[in-house]
Structure 1
Amino acid sequence: MKMDIKIMNPSSNIAICTLWAKKELVLKALRETQKMVNIIGTLYTVYGINYLLKTLAKHGKIDTLIVFGPDLSGSGKALITLFKEERVPKGLRLIWEWDKVKKIVNTVKMIDLRHAYGSKEGIRVLKETIKENFRHMERSVRDEEDWKLEEVKLRSFPVPLAGFYIHDGDLFYLWFKAVYLVMKYGFLKESEYGEIQKEVIGLLSVLEVYDRIKDVNNIITKFSEVMNPEGFKKHVDSLLNAKDCEKVSYTYGNRLFSNDVYGDQIKYIIDKLGERPMSRRAIATLWLPSDRESDTPPCLVLVQGLISGNYYHHITVFRSHDIFGAWPLNAYGQLILAMKIAEGLSKKLRRGIKIGNLVIFSISAHIYEHDWMRAEEFIQKYKDRVKVRFVPDLRGNIIFSEGRVEHRVESGEILNVYEENYDELKFETGFLSADHAFWLGYEYGRKREIT
């Protein structure tokens, strides 16, 4: 994290913390009074207090800290608590020992002007406060030290996060995104197997097929760089086989094609959609009442099929999903199953039905500790390749055109037209893919610089 500070008068005793306000705007408003300020800087997060303390430790002439700005994240409140109440506020993880920090706290006067920011008299109050407290310092009020700020990388994201969406037209790179996401944002917790895991809740992975996949064997070839290709073939054989396996209590194939309660559920999906293509009731359930007491209940609990036009969409729900160890086999198997269903629907409806989307909803998306090292190696090996890939956004393209913005679908027709302004673009980009939204923001900023 880079320290967002500016030094004006090293002999001054005053520092200003602008919190979320741009320090350049505050300095401009201060005019000649800024000559009485030693340092000015922002403070966006509570954690950033560590950087503020490092700055005060290095600049020993500062004995007055004025807080003036919008406290959007509670960083200002935490800072005030630290200095005025002489205690570590909730949510602040200090890098240094309290006895070391206390030397700063005891030699710096805190002036809280958060209430004045944004008011008509705000700048006047700030100027008067600076003038009243300014002193030209010949000596430091404490020993000046260059504190080393060595941050410890988090093993776990601090809060459990839910609701992630990733998409791609390539199954291998979709898996990469899932692994990267769980390793970065996963919350550390125990599992029922006695091993810790990183977990995110509610991961929606969408493989946008739409004629992009010509040969499924190419998928296995890509994955063979990381995994044993024989595993894919065995999984598909098991998935498409209705027979029980003696070595396990059930198989997905048995639950789908020869379910004790529902019978052949894949035939049901084909028949249901074949009779009523608009149906939302073509569902296969793999969870049985007896699974509540089982030590090895199925991870895949539901499969649903939908038809839109000439496209079949295959939606799957996994209650528990091992993203590094099992996701590739599961995803590949469901793609093959979707193709089988689409083939059956083509015969039933007497028209060509193609695969649209393969949707995989992982309620608990996790990676076990024994796979963390391999997952990190996998990320390092392929990250640069993924970063430069272009993934088309099926939501369409955004075109800047003479003061207006056109939203055109992939085939070229206009979906919407709206004004070229920040608020409108911010709203619209919330529904685009993340990389598309990033590009749009970049282009908008570039256009504003030019004009």
Structure 2
Amino acid sequence: MTSSLIRETLYKPLYKPNQIICGTGQTVVATGWTVKESVAKHLQPYEYAGIGACYSPTRGISLLIRNLLANPFVRYLVVINATKEDRNAGAVECLIDFFRNGFELGLTDTGKQCWLIRSTATGYIDIEIPSEVLEQLRQSIEWVEAKTITDAVNKVKRLALREPIEPWSNPLTYDLATLEPTVLPGTRYGHRIEGRTIAETWVKIVHRIKTTGTIRPTLYDGQWQELIDLVAIVTDEPEQFYFPEPNYLPCDRTFINQYVSQILDDAPSIDGVKYTYGQRLRSHFGLDQIEQVIDKLSTDIDSARAVMSLWDVQDGEANNSPPCLNHIWVRVVDNELSLTATFRSNDMFSAWVANAMGLRALQKHILDQVCDRANHNLQMGALITISQSAHIYDDCWENADNLIQNQYKKLVAQRDYADPSGSFVINVQDDTIIVEHMTPGTGSVVNCYSGKSATGLCRQIAADCPALQVGHAMYLGSELQKAEVALLNKFLYTQDKALKSNSS
């Protein structure tokens, strides 16, 4: 291939093509968490082959390597390692370690064989790619690290001045394993999930989405499984957060300690660096909305105007990455301070846990400040998130299925059926089934049903108590059917016990 033909070769990524800015040079720029457009605007298309983000070491590096194998005329790689998010995620450091340290045979977190990058960050490469091909790639591409956008741009421009180099191979492609989930019928809009901790609630969320979520295409060259308007309620998360042992959450305590500041603290606006939620709350609109809410509740503890907004009306037009978190509402009822957050779009597998813990920290900060300033004695109430598009990306489906297999069954087995709708006591008296409905706290009787038909009683109770938990409702139906059998056959009925004949 001649030098002129090399310069005219357009980078053609096979994976995530719509997420990559393509050119005709011989340098790929992996921007990490730096906004790719902030790099591209300083370069000409002939100076680079492709410019794209690299967020995750377990989900992104293998696809980047596949794209490099499919475009062997690429001979240089500039890796931008510039932001706090890069340090937290570890993707760019892991990518560098692939070229610096190599890889070895290992297992993914779901137990499948893979090539494991020798790095402090856990990074996977698909096992379908032969090791000798990966070694050839490592030897054929020259990589450099950049700490700023300016540094990256200068390095790309210097590399573009070099004489073109022949491709190191013919284009190489390998089959990519795919997973197609089984979807059960379910409600399309409006879902409610409650748990004591963020961890418990998350497992329930993942199970609900993977069971009944609709599969739809995304804007990111893939698919996701989605529920519309999912309300998640966390009632009793401890102040220092609960991390299970062993930790099956998609983040650890160190990451959360760093992430919380992205919600609580302001951050300067820097070219190429994405906004933080803290910046949107503290300064984006010219005032500190967190302080505004604290002042509002300190003055009027019953106020329903403790509102914070992160959506800018310009986001729908000019922003390539508008905030997912749009609206926060804080309310005090019966000395409990609750916080409700609305997300227009929410990655429930990889991001929701960190989102929830960050919001819980914000909730605690507001509570402490209101108590200090206005001498109130408030308790932490529920954290509620409303995820308008609650989804799991296809590259996490296998991990989600593994979580459900290992954790959801344990969660269901431990369930005690304590229902906020109350409890029911069933008796058979004078040839009639009597059902008393009692409150969950004091056990006060609030309603009484009577009849001879289990079906008729179930319909009455369902009409009066539409929020009954599914497991509780199924239990109640089976007990009422047992009571009807006892009534028809003159058996002795005792709730939660086997039927006995009058003669025994």
Question: How high is the TM-score relative to the length of structure 2?
Answer: 0.55
Corresponding residue to 1:417 among 436, 440, 447: 447
Aligned to 2:467: 431
Aligned to 2:216: 189
Residue 250 to residue 241, structure 1, CA distance change in 2 (3 Å): same
Corresponding residue to 2:406 among 357, 381, 394: 381
Letter in 1 for 2:419: D
In 1: Cα distance, 2:411 partner to 2:185 partner: 27
Assess if the C-alpha contact under 8 Å between 2:250 and 2:350 holds in 1: no
Give the root-mean-square deviation of aligned CA atoms: 2.4
Letter in 2 for 1:408: M
In 2: Cα distance, 1:437 partner to 1:344 partner: 42
Specify the SS of the correspondent of 1:243.
Answer: coil
Residue 215 to residue 314, structure 1, CA distance change in 2 (3 Å): closer
Q: CA deviation at 1:357?
A: 1.3
Assess if the C-alpha contact under 8 Å between 1:160 and 1:187 holds in 2: no
Corresponding residue to 1:440 among 473, 476, 481: 476
Q: CA deviation at 1:376?
A: 0.7
Moved more, 321-330 or 402-411: 402-411
In 2: Cα distance, 1:324 partner to 1:333 partner: 16
Specify the SS of the correspondent of 1:289.
Answer: coil
Corresponding residue to 2:197 among 161, 165, 170: 170
Letter in 2 for 1:437: A
Residue 154 to residue 322, structure 1, CA distance change in 2 (3 Å): closer
Letter in 1 for 2:332: I
Letter in 1 for 2:393: Y
Assess if the C-alpha contact under 8 Å between 2:341 and 2:385 holds in 1: yes
Corresponding residue to 1:347 among 372, 379, 382: 372
Question: Percent identity of the aligned residues?
Answer: 25
Q: Provide structure 1 residue ranges, at least 5 long, that are not aligned to the other structure.
A: 1-152
Task: Confirm or deny that 1:334 pairs with 2:359.
Answer: yes
Moved over 6 A (4+): none
Assess if the C-alpha contact under 8 Å between 2:308 and 2:328 holds in 1: yes
Specify the SS of the correspondent of 1:356.
Answer: strand
Assess if the C-alpha contact under 8 Å between 2:249 and 2:353 holds in 1: no
Assess if the C-alpha contact under 8 Å between 1:155 and 1:188 holds in 2: no
Assess if the C-alpha contact under 8 Å between 1:188 and 1:198 holds in 2: yes
Letter in 2 for 1:317: T
Assess if the C-alpha contact under 8 Å between 1:283 and 1:302 holds in 2: yes
Aligned to 1:398: 424
Specify the SS of the correspondent of 1:384.
Answer: helix
Specify the SS of the correspondent of 2:424.
Answer: strand
In 1: Cα distance, 2:391 partner to 2:332 partner: 31
Q: Provide structure 2 residue ranges, at least 5 long, that are not aligned to the other structure.
A: 1-179, 451-456, 488-504
Q: CA deviation at 1:295?
A: 1.0
Aligned to 1:225: 248
In 2: Cα distance, 1:302 partner to 1:372 partner: 28
Q: CA deviation at 1:264?
A: 1.2
Task: Confirm or deny that 1:275 pairs with 2:299.
Answer: yes
Question: How high is the TM-score relative to the length of structure 1?
Answer: 0.61
In 2: Cα distance, 1:389 partner to 1:158 partner: 26
Task: Confirm or deny that 1:324 pairs with 2:349.
Answer: yes
Assess if the C-alpha contact under 8 Å between 1:156 and 1:198 holds in 2: no
Assess if the C-alpha contact under 8 Å between 1:160 and 1:201 holds in 2: no
Q: CA deviation at 1:360?
A: 0.7
Letter in 2 for 1:188: I
Specify the SS of the correspondent of 2:327.
Answer: strand
Aligned to 1:161: 188
In 2: Cα distance, 1:442 partner to 1:429 partner: 17
Q: CA deviation at 1:319?
A: 0.2
Assess if the C-alpha contact under 8 Å between 1:255 and 1:286 holds in 2: yes
Q: CA deviation at 1:232?
A: 1.7
Within a 5 Å distance, the mapping from 1:33-432 to structure 2 comes to 155-156=182-183, 161-209=188-236, 213-217=237-241, 219-221=242-244, 224-229=247-252, 230-244=254-268, 246=270, 248-261=273-286, 263-292=287-316, 293-390=318-415, 392-400=418-426, 403-414=433-444, 416-420=446-450, 421-432=457-468
Assess if the C-alpha contact under 8 Å between 1:182 and 1:198 holds in 2: yes
